[in-house]
Structure 1
Amino acid sequence: MEASLQPLIGLYRPHNLGGLYYGPDVVRNQIRSVLRSETSKAFIVTGCSLATKTPLIADLETLLGPENHAGTFSGIKQHAGATELEELTELVTQHNAIDTIISVGGGSPIDSAKAIIFRVHQKTQQWLTHITIPTTLSAAECTIIAGYTGYDGVKTSVSHPKLYPSYIFYDPKFGLHTPPRLFLSTGIRALDHAVEIQYQPCTTKMPTRMMTLSSISELFRLLPQYKTDPKNEDVITGLFLAAYASLGFLGQNLVPALMLSHTLGYALGSPYAIPHGVTSCITLGGTVKLVARLKKENARNLSAILPHIGEKQSGNNIQDCDSVGDRILQLVDLLGLQTTLTEYEVGTDQLDIIAARSLRLDPGKDILSQDKELFDCVREFVRSLW
């Protein structure tokens, strides 16, 4: 049985997550306990900033010790590219004893680790264990998808049920080292996941939509608290868990289908070097209003968000969706995250390219008549983002 187009008819098959650990010092206290054996060799995948500007990676290497630490790669950049992944895969496959990848950081190190595991399996038929320690709220650890930038500069991906991490560690001690603006913007990315799941046609009612509504409520509650006090470990832990709830309950039977704010994010992210948390700040509020007008079902599902952010439904779904969109825009403003494509030096000559890519159309070809009306709607929305 596959995912159903009817939210009250379906099957939920959970991912094969071995454990989700959360709270202060869970990495220090528990990470060695989830290694395959006392002689496991773990390879750390992370970014330069975490490795050189914080003590986190050095401390993790010490914690693993020479008996369990096989090496570290700290060259993962934003929107990790195919060239880096080839280099990493070669490093890992040369060391036959490695059985574990530990990713530390945001979406790029986590997705890179998944992509490496996929490539190693292609070469050796072996699946490596993936332990991940997120430092942002991007929730990349919550999917079976490994996104990376292809040689053409456009985001691409691979997916497999085995790419879901074996263990996730939400440790606020790691979150304390994330720049607050980055942490906040990835919180809007988590909100993007949770909001778009409400009208994604193949998501299950239980637990997916129910958990994502809880995630929306928690993100609206906790992000302003974090803005006021970014050193509060309870708030950081709560936000990690809210990010998990935004995407972690999709299950294995989901038919993949990215919705408009996400496809716009991919059209804007890699090609113009805009972080995905920022793309969600730019696109999410407006897309809620737009997609509500495309289908009555969209409007009905998105309007259900309103009570979870402290508002009453009016009975007019379009009006309620406008209120949801406005509340998202107000939250982005409150967090100091408002921005435009102009600030990221994206030229207005890219308008048609962005609109086409967001709809998975070839920007170099004429738009077919059946796609023209939707393309024109999206094009006008993208125009407003400068």
Structure 2
Amino acid sequence: MTDSVLPVSGIYEPHGLRKLYYGPNVVEKHLLHVLPSSTSKAFIVTGASLAAKTPLVKRVQDLLGTAHHGGTFSQIRQHAPVEQVARAIDDLCGRPDTEAVISIGGGSPIDAAKTLSKRFHAAHGRYLVHIAIPTTLSAAECTDIGGTTMQDGVKQGVRGDELAPQYIFYDASFALHTPPALFMSTGIRAMDHALELQYNPAAAWLPVKAIALQAIATLYRLLPRYRDDPTDEHVILGLFLAAYGSLGFFGKQMRGSLGLSHTIGYALGSPYGIPHGITSCLTLGHVVALKAELDPADAACVAGTLPCFGKARSGDDVADSRVVGAVILQLVRDLGLYTTLTEHGVPGDQLDVICDRALGSWMPGEERDLQDAALRAAVRRLVACLF
């Protein structure tokens, strides 16, 4: 670590997480204990595949029993389309005695549960206790931000400290039914979180960046082991905890996107139906090299992650950042996750549309037109190489 990335000041303001449970069968052991009361009804939000093709949802329903199971909505699709979320809201808001929402799955059900809690509050004057049981490494359970995909393909967000899950259950057995390619791609998404935190100006050194560095190292070490044996529950649990470390300590300082890889990912994800794990596979390796080219401070932050990948620093931050980018791209290939926008059916004539979406939400004002133009040109070159 060089002096350029050592902290000089910082603040850490955590979300309202009450407990994080991790280990074998923690759902069976502790789920009923976190319900608000002995008579609480909990509403389950999940996806169709989990409900129809795995025993997981029934497992939770049976655990809740008639005393606590207050309904299940199992039609949340990738990127949480507004039509499905609206139907879930109608179902939930017709059950005013509900006190908790249990999200089971990846980022889409977890995000949908945040929106449901917000709408339940508007209808009934109180938020729901959000209990998250993740089955991927997306780390959506780590934030108070939820996204719903509108009819034009663009996401609309909600946020609020009351929406973040109060209880998280990392139970490796729940990931045994996740397709390995999905689980690994969301692992790259977690690495995207951890790496972009290194140059996010709102991220405090302790605990945010320091723990995120450990998360990068753990993800890099364990993802190939998971590829070789996706039934190893010890490895799965280690990856779950790394995913939490990649984003779970950012807390209330998080505002908008983490960084350029995420903003490009949002521009690619819901508009073209590309999973966010795959968008990170596409963008992250290229973005970290570009960030280093554009800003010496960012170069120092990226280069500071090189030891996480088992490599020594050379003293040339830009060169070291290129190595980081190359290592990430190679990891994506080694995991069998390499793809292109063309393979996902994105037409080449969408290049400028993608750049507009990626840069529009955070571009500076007219007084920085020259810098904006240079950044846009660099992003355009980056996106062009993804086809």
**Normalized against structure 1, the TM-score is what?**
0.95
Structure 2: distance between partners of 1:209 and 1:269: 26
Tell me the equivalent position of 1:327: 327
Contact 1:19 1:167 in 2 (8 A): yes
- Whether 1:374 aligns to 2:375 is yes
Give 3-state SS (helix, strand or coil) of 1:76's partner: coil
1:243-322 correspondence runs (5 A): 243-322=243-322
2:387 counterpart of 1:383? no
Write out per-residue CA displacement over residues 206-225 of structure 1, whole angstroms, 9 at most, x where no aligned residue: 00000100000000000000
**Contact 1:61 1:69 survives alignment (8 Å):** yes
Show the counterpart of 2:179: 179
The 1-side partners of 2:361 and 2:19 are apart by 40
Equivalent in the alignment of 1:89: 89
Counterpart position of 1:189: 189
Q: Tell which deviates more after alignment, 184-193 or 143-152.
A: 143-152
Q: For residues 130-160 of structure 1, give each alpha carbon's deviation from its aligned partner in whole angstroms, at most 9, with x where no partner exists.
A: 0010000000000010012123210221111
Match of 2:108 in 1: 108
Q: Residues 261-282 of structure 1, C-alpha deviation per residue, up to 9 Å, x if partnerless?
A: 1011100001110000000001
Amino acid at match of 2:373: K
Distance 1:106 1:255, change over 3 A: closer
Unmatched 5+ stretches in structure 1 = none
Give, in angstroms, the shift of residue 122 of structure 1: 2.2
Instruction: State the distance in 1 between where 2:289 and 2:51 align.
Output: 41
Q: Which moved more, 1:252-261 or 1:204-213?
A: 252-261
Task: Report the Cα offset of residue 123 of structure 1.
Answer: 2.5
Q: What residue number does 1:348 align with? A: 348
Q: Residues 281-319 of structure 1, C-alpha deviation per residue, up to 9 Å, x if partnerless?
A: 010000010011111110011110011211111000000
Decide whether aligned partners of structure 1 residues 6 and 215 sit closer, same or farther in structure 2, where only a CA change above 3 A counts: closer
Q: Which amino acid aligns with 1:384?
A: C
Q: CA deviation at 1:371?
A: 1.9
What RMSD, in angstroms, separates the aligned Cα atoms of the two structures?
1.8
CA distance in structure 2 between the aligned counterparts of 1:6 and 1:15, rounded to whole angstroms: 25
2: CA distance, partners of 1:357 / 1:69: 41
Matched, 1:47 2:47: yes
Alpha-carbon displacement from aligned partner over 1:136-195 (angstroms, at most 9, x marks no partner):
000000001001212321022111111110100000110101000100000000000001
* Counterpart residue number, 1:165: 165
Give the deviation of 1:249 after TM superposition: 0.2
Instruction: Find the aligned partners of 1:255 and 1:79 in 2 and give their Cα distance.
Output: 20
- The equivalent residue for 2:222 is 222
SS of alignment partner, residue 32 of structure 2? helix
Is the partner of 2:189 in helix, strand or coil?
Answer: helix
Note if contact 2:43-2:101 (Cα within 8 Å) is conserved in structure 1: yes
* SS of 1:343 mapped into structure 2: helix
Structure 1 residues 255 and 47: alpha-carbon distance in aligned structure 2, compared to 1, 3 A threshold: closer
In the TM superposition, 1:203-222 aligns within 5 A as 203-222=203-222
Which portions of structure 1, spanning 4 or more consecutive aligned residues, are displaced by more than 6 angstroms?
Answer: none
What amino acid sits opposite 1:174 in the alignment? F
Classify the secondary structure of the residue corresponding to 2:203: coil
The Cα offsets for residues 10-61 of structure 1, whole Å up to 9 and x where unpaired, read as 2111111111001111111110111111110000000000000001111111
